[in-house]
């Protein structure tokens, strides 16, 4: 009987496997040098599943991009030209459980893409005034993971971290692909394809029913 239950459990898990679902980002802000000559809006970073990237696995990018102006001109390193930290801020609308951030690259033809970055979090109670940027990042949630992206525009790059409950996420870009071997010219701007956050999947009703039956069976023995 136990073996049969394990077989059923495995089948339910396999049947429940599906494409990832992603949280809706309610708002985005930035302190980076905007006004790119292509007119690509900052909102291109949060187009979401079905527009910015394929809703089906493996969630390849299909949408637009965003990039900064080049305050130092060409050639230069955008990060070094700027005097302060380069931030993006994301509002998820309410406190939600987060365990990963997904990124899609900007370009394989130049070095302008975001390479290294770190993230901080703030809760709904730590929000600021209207707009984004003055939230109390790193106050109650001290987690501050850092990641390194690859120079590829197509695949989803998923970076995991310890679970937190937060409404706001701050992404600090700390490097482009400037002077990276084989990255190409550029780095005088900073570009991003897409950023998203995977939702924590809830157990299927079939799986919950199975667990209930299994627990009942254990109690009867």
Residues of the chain falling short of pLDDT 70: 1-17, 202-221
pTM of structure: 0.85
pLDDT, tens only, 103-147: 999 999 999 999 999 999 999 999 999 999 999 999 999 999 999
Write down the pLDDT at residue 13.
43
Judging by beta carbons within 10 Å of its beta carbon (0-12, 13-18, 19+), is residue 130 exposed, middle or buried?
A: exposed
Please answer whether residues 191 and 67 qualify as being in contact, where contact means their C-beta atoms are separated by less than 8 angstroms.
Answer: yes
Domain residue ranges in the chain? 27-201
CA gyration radius for the chain? 21
**Residue 89: what are its φ and ψ, rounded to 5°?**
-125, 135
Residue 169 in contact with residue 101, Cβ under 8 Å?
A: yes
User: Quick one: 27-201 is in which CATH superfamily?
Assistant: Galactose-binding domain-like (2.60.120.260)
């Amino acid at each position: 009987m136990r073996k049969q239950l394990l077989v059923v459990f495995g089948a339910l898990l396999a049947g429940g496997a599906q494409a990832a679902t992603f949280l809706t980002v309610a708002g985005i802000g930035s302190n980076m040098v905007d006004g790119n000559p292509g007119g690509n809006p900052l909102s291109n970073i949060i187009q979401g599943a079905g527009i910015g990237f394929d809703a089906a696995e493996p969630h390849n990018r299909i949408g637009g991009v965003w990039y900064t102006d080049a305050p130092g001109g060409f050639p230069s390193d955008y990060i070094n030209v700027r005097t302060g930290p380069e931030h993006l801020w994301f509002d998820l609308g309410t406190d939600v459980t987060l365990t990963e951030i997904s990124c899609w690259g900007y370009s394989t033809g130049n070095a302008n893409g975001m390479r290294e970055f770190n993230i901080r979090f703030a809760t709904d109670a730590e929000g600021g005034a209207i707009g984004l940027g003055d939230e109390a990042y790193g106050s109650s949630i001290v987690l501050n993971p850092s990641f390194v992206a690859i120079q590829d525009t197509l695949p989803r790059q998923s970076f995991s971290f310890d679970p937190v409950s937060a409404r706001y996420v701050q992404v600090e870009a700390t490097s482009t692909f400037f002077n990276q071997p084989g990255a190409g010219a550029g780095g005088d701007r900073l570009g991003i394809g897409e950023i998203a956050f995977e939702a924590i999947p809830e157990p299927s009703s079939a799986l919950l029913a199975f667990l209930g039956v299994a627990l009942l069976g254990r109690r009867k023995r």
